[in-house]
Amino acid sequence: MKAARTASSDSISISFDFRRRECDDVGRLARQIATNLERLRRNGHPRWKLVDLDVPLEGWDQHDCVRKYLGTQAEESSPSASTADRNPVAEAIKEALGD
């Protein structure tokens, strides 16, 4: 019997407040994950054991909404993530498509 071929990848969770109205919801979700990560690792899906919240994601900044609820600071070497016209999701998609 021939073994089935599978694909695997690391995954990330990305959220962006397109309408600029759900900032607090995004921040509260981030805080819930961060403060309950050990519980999720013990009782949740086995993939939670692989989650590392300290891995930097090159080219992406932690948004003000998340920093507000996690009490973290912006990276000094990166531009401000609070620029109103900036849309990192759209920028990443355009870059991936070569636009």
> Per-domain residue ranges for the chain?
21-74
CB under 8 Å to 31, separation ≥6 — which residues? 69, 70
Task: At 93, list the tokens.
Answer: 């998609």
pLDDT at 81: 46
Is the pLDDT confidence value at 48 over 60?
yes
Is the pLDDT confidence value at 96 over 90?
no
For residue 38, report the phi and psi dihedrals to the nearest 5 degrees.
Answer: -65, -40
pLDDT at 31: 93
**Spatial distance between the Cα atoms of 79 and 24, rounded to a whole number of angstroms:** 22
Q: Name which residue leads in pLDDT, 50 or 55.
A: 50
Cα dihedral 20→22→24→27 (10° resolution): -100
* Beta-carbon-side half-sphere exposure of residue 45 (alpha carbons within 13 Å): 4
Is the pLDDT confidence value at 83 over 80?
no
Across residues 74-97, what is the average pLDDT?
64
Task: At 77, list the tokens.
Answer: 């070497």
